[in-house]
């Protein structure tokens, strides 16, 4: 019996398992139900009882060896077939089916460019919620309650039972009212509440106004706010930063003009105009014959706003501006209808592919 075991072991060790057929024959001959190993186990009962244990052990080892060889080779063969071509006539030189890659939206491209330009001179990016409380959107920005200045921006109000304002100075007794932010300026307040000067932040984001949708107006659009607060900041700093920004974004030949204006949260305030890019300043119907187009509002942050946001107006001053990203994009790429940005017409969107 032990001799048979030794002979079978040599056979198993030497068995050629090159192909799947050989592997199958191996299984039938040795490990299968009617194979030699099963035979040997049957014969175990004929072995002298005192040797039976030792022979049984040897037999078990032999079985493990056979199973190990079988399984190892089986796995190798399976892995090889998985990697092999399913169809040997398949032509690997055929060109692939091109995968249609999406393109970035023009508003995203312009927003990213704005962020890059201002990051180069030390501005970081801050964000705030689109569902904002009345205090951050209006009161803290010096729009007194029930003041007509609130009508400058037609507001969507939000039903707000059960919501509690975060970081708002709202009187605890009167419930906070919520709205869709009408501008990105409330993020200025949030940044100042969270951090002491020096502050150099830009705040891009979506804003909402209750307006009928047309070629020139939408109920949802994007702005980017800039806020710079430190000791001894003056209007000259504001002008110089806007000059740099406009020239980086639109080109060195584009001029900037500040026009006196009013915003509740800045004093003094100015609107920012640039040379009309359509007629290059000669006057056309886009700039209504003036040669200038407005890109946003700006000013020195009102001391009352600094105070409401927890910053000492005796020690610090700063400037802010807010610009429309759609407006900038329309000027930069001569887009004439605001609705194109939200229609998702691929013929429009694909034109910006090459600008990435
Ligand atoms: N928030 C104003 C608007 O939406 C724009 C604006 C004007 C922002 C002056 C400013 C600013 O930061 O200083 O009409």
Torsion of CA 167, 173, 178, 183, to 10 degrees: -50
The band of 131, judged by pLDDT with boundaries at 50, 70 and 90, is: very high
Q: 319 in a domain, yes or no?
A: yes
Distance 268 CA to ligand 1 centre (A): 12
Distance 226 CA to ligand 1 centre (A): 9
For the chain, how many structural domains are there in total? Answer: 2
Pair (230, 343) in one structural domain:
yes
First to last CA, the chain: 79
Q: What is the mean pLDDT of the chain?
A: 90
* Of the residues 47, 66, 82, the one at which a domain ends: 82
Q: 101 in a domain, yes or no?
A: no
Q: 217 in a domain, yes or no?
A: yes
Pair (184, 333) in one structural domain:
yes
The band of 102, judged by pLDDT with boundaries at 50, 70 and 90, is: confident
Judged against a pLDDT cut of 60, whether residue 78 lies above it is answered with yes
In a 3-state reduction of DSSP, which class is residue 54? helix
| Lowest-pLDDT range of 25-29, 33-37, 164-168, 351-355 | 164-168
The answer to whether 1 and 9 are in contact (CB under 8 A) is no
Pair (289, 328) in one structural domain:
yes
Domain that holds residue 68: 2-82
Pair (219, 154) in one structural domain:
yes
Distance 321 CA to ligand 1 centre (A): 6
The answer to whether 213 and 219 are in contact (CB under 8 A) is yes
Q: 94 in a domain, yes or no?
A: no
How many percent of the chain have pLDDT more than 90? 64
The residue written with tokens 């990105």 in the block is 184
Predicted local distance difference test score (pLDDT) of residue 175: 55
Q: Which of 2-11, 143-152, 203-212 has the highest mean pLDDT?
A: 203-212
Pair (286, 172) in one structural domain:
yes
Pair (232, 275) in one structural domain:
yes
CA of 266, closest atom in ligand 1: 13
The answer to whether 183 and 153 are in contact (CB under 8 A) is yes
The band of 164, judged by pLDDT with boundaries at 50, 70 and 90, is: low
Distance 264 CA to ligand 1 centre (A): 9
CA of 323, closest atom in ligand 1: 5
Predicted local distance difference test score (pLDDT) of residue 165: 57
Predicted local distance difference test score (pLDDT) of residue 310: 96
Which of 322, 325, 326 to probe ligand 1 with, by most ligand atoms within 8 A of CB? Answer: 322
Q: 88 in a domain, yes or no?
A: no
Q: 96 in a domain, yes or no?
A: no
Predicted local distance difference test score (pLDDT) of residue 92: 84
Q: Which helix (H) or strand (E) segment is 50 a member of?
A: helix 49-83
Pair (172, 32) in one structural domain:
no
Pair (67, 179) in one structural domain:
no
Predicted local distance difference test score (pLDDT) of residue 265: 97
Pair (70, 124) in one structural domain:
no
Q: Which residue has the higher pLDDT, 52 or 175?
A: 52
Query: What radius of gyration, in Å, describes the C-alpha atoms of the chain?
Result: 38
Q: 347 in a domain, yes or no?
A: yes
pLDDT for 44-56, tens place per residue?
Answer: 888 888 989 999 9
Predicted local distance difference test score (pLDDT) of residue 139: 93
pLDDT for 190-214, tens place per residue?
Answer: 999 999 999 999 999 999 999 999 9
Pair (176, 27) in one structural domain:
no
Give the residue-averaged pLDDT of 106-113: 95
Predicted local distance difference test score (pLDDT) of residue 147: 78
Pair (232, 286) in one structural domain:
yes
Distance 106 CA to ligand 1 centre (A): 23
Predicted local distance difference test score (pLDDT) of residue 173: 43
Judged against a pLDDT cut of 80, whether residue 83 lies above it is answered with no
Judged against a pLDDT cut of 80, whether residue 172 lies above it is answered with no
pLDDT for 287-327, tens place per residue?
Answer: 889 999 999 999 999 999 999 999 999 999 999 999 999 99
> Going by C-beta distance under 8 Å and a sequence separation of 6 or more, which residues neighbour residue 178?
131, 132, 133, 134, 157, 158, 159, 160, 163, 165
Nearest CA to ligand 1 atom 4: 183
Q: Which residue has the higher pLDDT, 169 or 153?
A: 153
> Going by C-beta distance under 8 Å and a sequence separation of 6 or more, which residues neighbour residue 52?
44
Residues in the ligand 1 pocket, defined by CB under 6 Å:
183, 185, 225, 263, 266, 297-299, 320-322
Which among 302, 271, 125, 263 is positioned nearest to 182, based on CA atoms? 263
Predicted local distance difference test score (pLDDT) of residue 168: 55
Output the six-digit token pair for 242. 């806007």
Nearest-angstrom CA–CA distance, 153 and 211: 9
Q: Is 267 annotated as a binding residue?
A: yes
State how far Cα 183 lies from the chain centre.
22
Judged against a pLDDT cut of 70, whether residue 162 lies above it is answered with no
Judged against a pLDDT cut of 90, whether residue 257 lies above it is answered with yes
The answer to whether 199 and 191 are in contact (CB under 8 A) is yes
Say if strands 124-125 and 199-208 run parallel, antiparallel, or are unpaired.
Answer: parallel
In a 3-state reduction of DSSP, which class is residue 323? strand
Q: 56 in a domain, yes or no?
A: yes
Based on the number of CB atoms within 10 Å of its own CB, is 152 exposed (0-12), middle (13-18) or buried (19 or more)? middle
Domain with 317 in it: what CATH number?
3.30.930.10
Which of 296, 302, 324, 328 to probe ligand 1 with, by most ligand atoms within 8 A of CB? Answer: 296
Distance 311 CA to ligand 1 centre (A): 19
Pair (52, 152) in one structural domain:
no
Nearest CA to ligand 1 atom 3: 183
């Amino acid at each position: 019996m032990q001799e048979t075991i030794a002979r079978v072991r040599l056979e198993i060790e030497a068995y050629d398992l090159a192909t799947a057929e050989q592997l199958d024959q191996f299984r039938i001959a040795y490990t299968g139900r009617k194979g030699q190993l099963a035979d040997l186990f049957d014969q175990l009962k004929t072995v002298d009882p005192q040797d039976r244990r030792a022979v049984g052990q040897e037999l078990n080892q032999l079985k493990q060896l056979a199973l190990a060889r079988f399984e190892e080779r089986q796995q190798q063969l399976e892995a090889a077939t998985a990697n092999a071509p399913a169809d040997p006539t398949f032509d690997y030189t055929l060109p692939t089916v091109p995968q249609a890659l999406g393109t970035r939206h023009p508003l995203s491209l312009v927003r990213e460019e704005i962020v890059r330009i201002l990051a180069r001179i030390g501005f970081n990016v801050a964000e705030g919620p689109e569902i904002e409380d009345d205090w951050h959107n209006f009161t803290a920005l010096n729009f007194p309650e029930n003041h007509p200045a609130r009508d400058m921006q037609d507001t969507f109000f939000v039903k707000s039972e059960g919501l509690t304002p975060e970081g708002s100075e709202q009187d605890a007794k009167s419930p906070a009212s919520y709205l869709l932010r009408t501008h990105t300026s409330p993020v200025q307040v949030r940044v100042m509440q969270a951090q002491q000067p020096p502050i150099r932040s830009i705040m891009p984001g979506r804003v909402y106004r209750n307006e009928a949708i047309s070629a020139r107006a939408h109920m949802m659009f994007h702005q980017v706010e800039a806020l710079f607060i430190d000791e001894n900041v003056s209007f000259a700093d504001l002008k110089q930063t806007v000059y740099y920004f406009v020239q980086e974004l639109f080109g060195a030949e584009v001029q900037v003009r500040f026009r006196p204006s009013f915003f509740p949260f800045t004093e003094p305030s100015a609107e920012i105009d640039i040379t009309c890019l359509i007629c290059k300043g000669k006057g056309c119907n886009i700039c209504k014959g003036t040669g200038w187009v407005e890109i946003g509002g700006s000013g020195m942050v009102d001391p009352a706003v600094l105070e409401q946001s927890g910053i000492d107006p005796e020690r610090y001053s700063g400037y802010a501006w807010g610009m429309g990203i759609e407006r900038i994009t329309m000027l930069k790429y001569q887009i004439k209808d605001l609705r194109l940005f939200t229609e998702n017409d691929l013929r429009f969107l694909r034109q910006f592919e090459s600008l990435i």
